[in-house]
Every structure is written in structure tokens, then in C-alpha cells.
Structure 1
Amino acid sequence: MRRAAFFVIAGPVCIAAYGLVRLWGKSDEVYGPGFDWQAAHLLGLAGMVFFVPAVLALSRLLPRSPWRVGVVVLTLVGLAATMVQFGADIVEGLMAADRAEMSALAADFKDIPGVEVAFYDVVPQFFFLGLVILAGMLAAKRQLRWWSAPLLFVGIVLPVATLDLLPLSGLCMLVALAPALPTLRQQVEQATAPAVVH
């Protein structure tokens, strides 16, 4: 839990940064492959990686139960699938000479049986579903605000309309999870406080 608050902040911030770098890369109408593509996707991948300890830390604010375990497993499975998706995008960007070749490589990867379901269309959504459910459970225990889960849902849905809204999506996620930060920091202080000998 020592760095829990950092991870809860870093995940959404990386998502927002991914969106900003993506917009910058698109500004010259030549986005990928290249530095801008790699930088954006590395930030997105970092965000997913940071969400792993963030989800684990947030879940520890809830009492132990099969529900808590199930939601965490669902969320982490979705995160793993999303990481594979980002990793594939990064590798394809490194291998391709131009946008057309990168699209062809992506199509070849998706043509592998089960890949599109596992890493694009279905399983990555478990991360977002699990995160919203986790936020709702935390709000029920007053570890988050009542509006945290709805705001998180809005942040998740925004990129569905257009990926250009990713910076706003990351901001919504950060604001939604921010009410848990004082409790996470308090737990760190309690864990590191010297024991008093009577």
C-alpha cells in the first residue's frame, strides 16, 4: 500500500497523456507508425500497468468477500487483455514501414482465431466493467462518493464516441477515484508509524 495513492493517480494520468500525445500525433495527419504512435501507446500501456496495483489497493478498502475477489479477477483479466492489445499495437508500429503496412499487420493478428474476442472486442471490456462495479462497491462503503461510479462510467464511455476524448476520459477517471486517496495515504502512514512500546 506504500505507493497505492501514486498508482491510483498514475493510471488515469497516463490514459489522459496517451490521449494528448495521440492528438499531437494526429495534428500533422500522419499518425503511426513513428515516434508519436509509440509514445502514445507506451503511455497507454503504462496506464494499464499502473491500474493493476491501483485496483488491488482499492479492493483492499473493502471487506474480504467472494464478491470482492470476483470483481478483482474480472478487472485484472480485462487489464491483461488490454495490455496485450497495446503491446500488439506497439510491435506492429515497430515492424511497419507505413500506415498501410501497420493496418495489414493488425488485420493479420486479428485474423488469428480467438484474438479479436480475447484482446479487442470482449475481454478488454471486463476491465472497465470491473472498475465501475468496484467503484460502486467502494461508494456503498463510503470509500468513494456516490457520483464516483457514474463519473467513471462517463469517462469510460467517452472514447467510444471518439478516441479524441481520451484526455477527458482520463480526467474523469482521476476525479472519480480521487476521494479514495486520503484513506490510502492514511493507511500508508499507519503502516509506517513506529510501534509504541508500553
Structure 2
Amino acid sequence: MNATQLSRLTPYAVVGAPALMALYGGIRLVPGSRQPGLGWTAGHTAMFAGLLLFAPVFLALRRRLAPGGAAGRIAVGAALGTAFAGLLCSLAQIGIDLVVGVVAADKAEQSRLFDRVQEVPGVLPVVYQDGPLLFYVGLLALVTAASVGAARTLRWWSPVLVLLGTVAAGADLAFVPLAAACYLVALAPLARPAAAPRPVLV
């Protein structure tokens, strides 16, 4: 993806990623949506699409940063790598959930299939426990870097909102729509055309 394509896609991704996340969270609150059926499939499809849209958001954040020196480049690269690693793990989780929901005939079979998948060595920690956390760690690191110093693309409250939304959703998935709203407000300045990045001295 070149710079022009990224610039055109970024405003849609900034709005679309949290909006689809909120849609997932809203559908999840509908009775019956936590078992195989239309609600499960629709909600997880929305979440999967929303996660995909975070890829251009991460790239847009990286593009707004111009780290000065080797240490700065390593730090920004590490944050971006962490975010993408977490994104891949999160996509794997939602993808598995989506397939299991489609294949299972009822809630009992859904539980058995999840148990079978999670018994595979490495799947539980990488896909369901530790791996997805990297998504939020990387996002917070990139947002923080874009909110401080010479690179100020975002506002000082952007990392605060990202942290608030992440903690809320981690405490209870019922707060996923709140987290999505926090992410939308935090990332909204990215929807404006990018100015020439200024070096970040690390």
C-alpha cells in the first residue's frame, strides 16, 4: 500500500474499525447472540472486519512518526510489530470463533468444539490469552508516541482514552461499545490529512 492509498483509506479505517467493533459489542448484548446462529455470525463477522481495518490505522500512526536516530526507529518499529502481532492473534481468535459458531449445531457442541481447539498446544496462550493483548499494547504505544513530543499528531488525551477503553472492555465485554467510542475519539485526528512528520528524538 503506497502513501496515497493509505491517506485515502485512513479516514474510513479510523471510523470503520471502531464502528464495526461497536456493532459486535451491540450484537453481543442481544439475547441468543452468544450461541450458534445469526447473531453470533453477524457479530463476529463485524469484529473480524473491524480488526482488519486496524491495519491501515497502525500504518497511518507509523507514517505520522519520524523517529530520529536508531533508538527511535527501533522503538517505533517494535511498537508497530507488537501491534501487528497482536492483530494477527486477534484475527485468529475471531476467525476460530466464527467458524466454530457456523459449524456447531447448538451451544453444547459449540463448547465441545472450543474445548477441542483450545486443547491444541499453544492455541490457548497465543490465540486466546497473551497474543491478543499485544494488539492493545502496540496500539497504546503507537498512540502515545503520536501524542507526545515533536510528533504530536494526536492529543494528550488520546492514549488516556485508548487505555480507558481497553481496561473497560477487558473488565467486561459488555463495555466493548464504550471501548469503541473511546478509540474513535482518540484516533479521530488521524482522519485529517497528514502533515510532514517531525522527528521524534529518543
Report the TM-score when normalising by structure 1.
0.88
Partner Cα distance (1:67, 1:181) in 2: 24
Given candidates 50, 53, 56, the residue that maps to 1:50 is: 53
Matched residue, 1:114: 122
Matched residue, 1:195: none
Paired letter, 1:89: D
Matched residue, 2:14: 8
Change (3 A) 1:154 1:30: closer
Matched residue, 1:63: 66
- Are 2:104 and 1:101 equivalent residues in the alignment? no
Partner Cα distance (2:52, 2:104) in 1: 25
Partner Cα distance (2:161, 2:59) in 1: 20
Cα shift at 1:53: 1.2
Identity of aligned residues (%): 36
Matched residue, 1:176: 186
| SS across alignment from 1:31 | coil
Runs of 4+ in structure 1 displaced over 2 angstroms?
A: none
**Residues 1-198 of structure 1 aligned to structure 2 (within 5 Å):** 1=6, 2-24=8-30, 26=31, 29=32, 31-64=34-67, 65-140=73-148, 141-184=151-194
CA contact (8 A) 2:80 2:138 kept: yes
Change (3 A) 1:76 1:172: same
Cα shift at 1:68: 1.4
| SS across alignment from 2:146 | helix
| SS across alignment from 2:184 | helix
Partner Cα distance (2:28, 2:186) in 1: 23
Cα shift at 1:59: 1.0
CA contact (8 A) 2:27 2:33 kept: no
Paired letter, 1:122: D
Partner Cα distance (1:55, 1:84) in 2: 18
Cα shift at 1:66: 1.7
CA contact (8 A) 2:60 2:190 kept: no
CA RMSD of the aligned region, Å? 1.4
Cα shift at 1:31: 3.0
5+ unaligned residues in a row in structure 1: which ranges?
188-198
Paired letter, 2:45: L
5+ unaligned residues in a row in structure 2: which ranges?
1-5, 68-72, 197-202
Partner Cα distance (2:138, 2:188) in 1: 18
Which stretch shifts more, 54-63 or 1-10?
Answer: 1-10
Report the TM-score when normalising by structure 2.
0.86
The count of corresponding residues between Structure 1 and Structure 2 is 183
Partner Cα distance (1:30, 1:113) in 2: 29
